[in-house]
Amino acid sequence: MKIYLEKTYIIFDRELKGYFRTPLASIFLLVFLALSSGMTFFLGRFFDRDQADLTAFFAWHPWLFLILMPAIGMRLWAEERRSGTIELLITLPVTNMQLVIGKFLASWIFTLIALILTMPIWVTVNYLGDPDNNVILISYIGSWLMAGAFLALTSCLSALTKNQVIAFIISSISGFVLIMAGFNLVLSSVRSWTPTWVTETVGSMSFLSHFSRIQMGVFDLRTLIFFISMIILCIWINVQLVQIKKAD
């Protein structure tokens, strides 16, 4: 087990450092902070509402992640395939699972760093008023889990192509479908021609519906299982795609 974890860590360390070898990491972090702040204080009309909470901040996260998570994850496998280094990777003395988990964890920790850098907004809200910090903490955890689901999906889809732009587009489209699945417009159209259980299944797949409950401070087992299951499923599919590439 120790050797298994050490090899996974080597892959993780390689990928995480790879984010910071170019200015792209700094640019992404700055863009994320700027968009988060702008959407909270301006589009979210924070001062006009005269209410010290981070509702507006977290309300935009599903839509931010729809673009920013594919931007982080699109390179995980597409770049390896484009540059030809995937052939080197799959010949290393590591398992496909170690490769996939190491890469995924690197992108997920990078996202955690981005979220941690937004915490001055949390401090500002506490300075201006008396928010429910338990709800804010739960929302941060839920946001990170949702980001993990987006990243696992992007990593999986990135393994299908050599082109990062294509990986970005199909990941964004897939994420959009998973967000819109909970909207009444979508559910009404599905309900008109499918059994009730199909409609309920479609609704239960919505990232937005699950995250909306978290924003209200309701972090139930169903939501936790949904995001973790989504991550595990995408990682498993990712491993199978890497195995197919190894068999070529």
pLDDT 10s digits, 61-88? 888 898 889 888 887 777 777 766 666 6
Segment 225-238 mean pLDDT: 92
- Enter the pTM of the model: 0.87
> Are residues 207 and 223 in contact, defined by beta-carbon separation less than 8 angstroms?
no
Question: In this predicted model, what pLDDT tens digit does every residue of 163-208 receive, in sequence order?
Answer: 888 888 999 998 888 888 776 666 666 666 666 666 667 667 778 8
Residue that the structure tokens 């995001």 belong to: 227
Local confidence band at 97 (pLDDT 50, 70, 90 cut-offs): confident
Closest listed residue to residue 174, CA positions, set 160, 191, 188 = 160
CA distances from 32 to 36, 37, 115 (A): 6, 8, 9
- d(CA 241, CA 15) in angstroms, rounded, equals 19
Domain interval for residue 16: 2-247
Number of domains in the chain: 1
Tell me which residue of 135, 173, 149, 168 sits closest to 54, measured CA to CA. 135
Mean pLDDT, rounded, of the chain: 82
pLDDT at position 232: 94
pLDDT tens digits, 105-160: 999 999 999 999 998 888 888 887 788 888 889 999 999 999 999 999 998 888 88
Nearest alpha carbon to residue 14 among 101, 97, 83, 81: 101
Question: Which of 85, 69, 39 is closest to 143 using CA atoms?
Answer: 69
The Cα-based distances of 130 to 69, 103, 123, 125 in angstroms read 31, 39, 11, 8
pLDDT at 78: 73
Q: How many CB atoms lie within 10 A of CB 67?
A: 16
| Number of neighbours of residue 159 by Cβ within 10 angstroms | 24
Radius of gyration (C-alpha) of the chain in whole angstroms: 19
Residue 14, SS3 per DSSP: helix
The pLDDT of residue 159 is 84
Burial of 100 (0-12, 13-18, 19+ CB in 10 A): buried
Contact 234, 151 (CB under 8 A): no
pLDDT value of residue 161: 81
Does the pLDDT value for residue 217 go beyond 70? Answer: yes
